[in-house]
Amino acid sequence: MSQLSISPAVGPLRGTVTVPGDKSITHRALILGALAQGQTRITGYSRGEDCLNTLGVVRDLGVDVEEITEGLVVTGKGLWGLSEPTNVLDCGNSGTGLRLLAGVLAGQPFFSVLTGDASLRSRPMGRVVNPLRQMGGTISGRNGGSSAPLAIQGGNLQSVIYESPVASAQIKSCVLLAGLFAEGTTTVKEPIKSRDHSERMLQYFGVSLKVDGCTVQVAGRESFEGKPVIVPGDISAAAFFLVAASIVPDSDVLLTGIGLNPERTGILEVLSAMGADIAILNKREESGEPVGDLRVRSTRLIGTTIGAELIPKTIDELPIVCVAAALADGETRITGAEELRVKETDRIHAMAVQLAKIGVVLEEQPDGLVIQGGSTLRGAVCQSYGDHRVVMSLAIAALVADEAIVIEDVDCVETSFPGFHGKLLDLLTNPR
Strand order across the 185-189 sheet: 161-163, 185-189, 215-219, 209-212
- Which pLDDT score is estimated for 243? 98
Q: Which residue has the higher pLDDT, 432 or 328?
A: 328
- Which pLDDT score is estimated for 334? 97
Q: What is the mean pLDDT of residues 313-325?
A: 94
Burial (CB count within 10 angstroms: exposed 0-12, middle 13-18, buried 19+), residue 372: middle
pLDDT band of residue 414 (cuts 50, 70, 90) is confident
- Which pLDDT score is estimated for 217? 98
pLDDT band of residue 54 (cuts 50, 70, 90) is very high
- Which pLDDT score is estimated for 415? 83
Query: Domain boundaries in the chain?
Result: 3-21+232-427, 23-230
Residue 198 has pLDDT above 60, yes or no: yes
Superfamily in which the 3-21+232-427 domain is placed by CATH? Enolpyruvate transferase domain (3.65.10.10)
- Which pLDDT score is estimated for 74? 98
254-284 pLDDT, tens digit per residue, is 999 999 999 899 999 999 999 999 999 999 9
Kindly state the percentage of the chain with pLDDT values over 90.
91
132-148 pLDDT, tens digit per residue, is 999 999 999 999 999 99
Q: How far apart are CA 300 and CA 333, in angstroms?
A: 18
Of 46-50, 74-78, 127-131, 427-431, minimum mean pLDDT range: 427-431
- The b-or-e profile of 166-183 (16+ CB within 10 A means b, else e) is ebbbbbbbbbbbbbbbbe
Q: What is the mean pLDDT of residues 347-370?
A: 96
pLDDT band of residue 381 (cuts 50, 70, 90) is very high
Asked if 14 and 427 count as a contact pair (C-beta separation under 8 A), the reply is yes
Mean pLDDT of the chain: 95
Q: What is the mean pLDDT of residues 170-192?
A: 97
pLDDT band of residue 1 (cuts 50, 70, 90) is low
**Annotation: CATH topology of 23-230:** UDP-n-acetylglucosamine1-carboxyvinyl-transferase; Chain (3.65.10)
pLDDT band of residue 432 (cuts 50, 70, 90) is low
Q: How far apart are CA 175 and CA 160, in angstroms?
A: 9
Which residues are the active-site residues?
Answer: 316
Question: 23-230: same fold as 3-21+232-427?
Answer: yes
